[in-house]
Amino acid sequence: MPKGFFKIPEPVNERIRNYAPGTHERATLKQEIERLRSQVMDIPMIIGGEEVRTGNKVSIHPPHDRKHLLGHYHKGDASHVQMAIRAALDAKKKWAALSWEHRASIFLKAADLIAIPYGDTINAATMLGQSKNVMQAEIDSACEMADFLRFNVKYMSEIYQQQPHSPEFTWNRIEHRPLEGFVFALTPFNFTSIAGNLPTAPAMMGNTVVWKCSNTQVYSARVLMDAFVEAGVPPGVINLVFVSGPVAGQEIFTHPDFAGIHFTGSTEVFQHIWQTIGANIKTYRSYPRIVGETGGKDFIFMHPTAKIEEVVVAMVRGAFEYQGQKCSAASRAYIPQSLWPEVKKRMEDMIRGIRMGPPENFNNFFNAVIDETSFDKLASYIDRTRQDKDAEVIIGGGYDKTEGFFIEPTVILASDPQYVTMQEELFGPVLTLYVYDDDQIEETVEILNNTSIYALTGAIFAQDRYAIEFLTDRLSDCAGNFYINDKPTGAVVGQQPFGGARGSGTNDKAGSILNMLRWVSPRTIKENFLPPKDYRYAFMDDE
């Protein structure tokens, strides 16, 4: 039991290193990339603190270098999901009873490990396994992961401090208990930090977790798990399994002790999961917490008073960093007719300068998309656009999967503002533009509002303050993260809590106190110091 009201170290965002030529960080990272490339890693599942190997090995290749073998992971089946559930339930009592400052210490240590001794390894693994350039790996796997852990510890302590009022002779208290049962963390491929945050946020609040990562993120998930174990996360608290989504779902969503899901991924998968949970609702001991951050069709709206160079940079960085594989990536933009010729020219110039290739070569801004399924899907949208009369590919559009899954940064010009690539999430380096008449701002804003099912991020660019106020107001339901004169990507933990509404998720704001509150079930305790000794009330006395 704690014997003090401990003050946690005040978190600050991890410093982002720039990896410029000649820096120490560049030299050590390059060495680590070489070291990882020169070995074949054998990656087991981690269940109840044990390494579990099945012999059913799946090979891991960099998306940009298909022939190179990075390692294998051991694929599991339903029996491993059951083992992981049992391990989580067995570990629960002891973990939930551990004083909060010790849980805090473990995750603060994990943050320091990931930022410093594991920094090069986690960045190199993310670059090789997920095809991220060095800056994209740095802001994600080293920095954002450390930020999630440190800020979540702060939010945890703030939650425990939230206590009710107590009138005389009474002490009212609230205990923020972990959920009863186990939590399922189901994570996406595109951010190592999100993959790490989804199991650690509930674990920090005293829950035990079954973590199923994406098959295309196993390589960096392994490094995270090593850091968590070294930091002192006890056996059974976080159990990492490598199984297919439906196999995991079949075991998890039919278990009576399933207490909640922390999900990030596509809208389609989340809706399927929600339906399954709804259909099985009578199976569960409690109503499971359902937290899901999902897809986006994120917009940039350019007002006629916007500065052209600012919008063009926001479109290029917003749409093409990490090959557009960010839920927040700009994928549709609205450009006023009066500025279009100049916008087009500058975009063509800027995109022409983008170098595409493996992230091991630091000159490359742009790398490969995650896998063949994604490559084929993106190529088919590009092919379809080439046939359609309502849209044309005006920049890029080339693709080649000989060496790796490379799709050029691609810009589509749509004459129909409801064209399919203005509506659907493609999750790749494809930006669709619609050029609107300068006199039709209100109508275009209305179209923007009604074009897609998503409401994740969005950006407006304008110099006129009346326009900024108007657009901010009219687009209030279109984005959970809204940017004024900035690109719609790059949210920072502790600064811009992240999440969207409509089809984009439950908007529980990852990296904020709102998210952490989802992993506790409060118990209110009233203690009476002077309990009454007579059942009768004063009004019943004789006059």
- Site residues for ligand NAD per CB under 6 A: 186-191, 194, 212-214, 245-246, 248-249, 264-266, 269, 272, 293-296, 327, 425, 427, 456, 498, 500, 504-505
CA end-to-end distance (rounded Å), the chain: 52
Interatomic CA distance for residues 437 and 121, integer angstroms: 50
CB of 259 to ligand NAD, least distance (A): 17
Q: Which is nearer to ligand NAD, 135 or 335 (CB)?
A: 135
AA identity, residue 491: A
User: Is residue 236 left, alpha or beta, with left meaning phi > 0 and alpha meaning psi from -120 to 50?
Assistant: left
Q: Which helix (H) or strand (E) holds 115?
A: helix 100-115
The total number of residues written for the chain in this structure: 543
Which residue shows structure tokens 């992240």?
A: 498
Q: CA 448 → CA 115, 205, 444, distances in Å?
A: 40, 39, 6
Structure token pair of residue 452: 């897609």
Q: Quick one: which of 458, 429, 483 has its CA closest to 316? A: 429
User: Beta-strand (E) ranges in 317-366?
Assistant: 330-336
Minimum separation from the CB atom of position 144 to ligand NAD (A): 11
Nearer to ligand NAD by Cβ, of 144 and 425: the residue is: 425
Could you tell me the CA-to-CA distances from 510 to 10, 81, 224, 480, 489 in Å, in that order? 19, 26, 18, 12, 15
The answer to whether the Cα torsion of 177, 182, 183, 189 is positive or negative is positive
Minimal distance, residue 126 CB to ligand NAD, in Å: 14
CB of 76 to ligand NAD, least distance (A): 13
Which of 394, 390, 388, 387 lies closest to 408 in space, CA to CA? 394
Rg (C-alpha) for the chain, rounded Å, is 25
Q: Residue type at 394?
A: I
- Of 121 and 507, the one with the shorter C-beta distance to ligand NAD is 507
To the nearest whole angstrom, how small is the minimum distance from the Cβ of residue 511 to ligand NAD? 10
Burial grade of 68 (CB within 10 A; 0-12, 13-18, 19 or more): middle
Nearest to ligand NAD by Cβ — which residue?
245
- Paired with 210 in beta bridges are 184, 239
Active site residues: 293, 327
Q: How far apart are CA 102 and CA 79, in angstroms?
A: 32
Q: How far is the CB of 189 from ligand NAD (least distance, A)?
A: 4
Q: Which residues contact 4 (CB under 8 A, 6 or more apart)?
A: none
Least separation, in Å, of the C-beta of 384 and ligand NAD?
20
Beta carbon nearer to ligand NAD, 220 or 444: 220
Measured from the CB atom, the residue of 308 and 501 that comes closer to ligand NAD is 501
Nearest-approach distance from CB 505 to ligand NAD, in angstroms: 5
For residue 36, CA distances in Å to 41, 153, 463, 469, 483 come to: 8, 32, 48, 50, 38
Comparing CB distances to ligand NAD, the nearer of 11 and 249 is 249
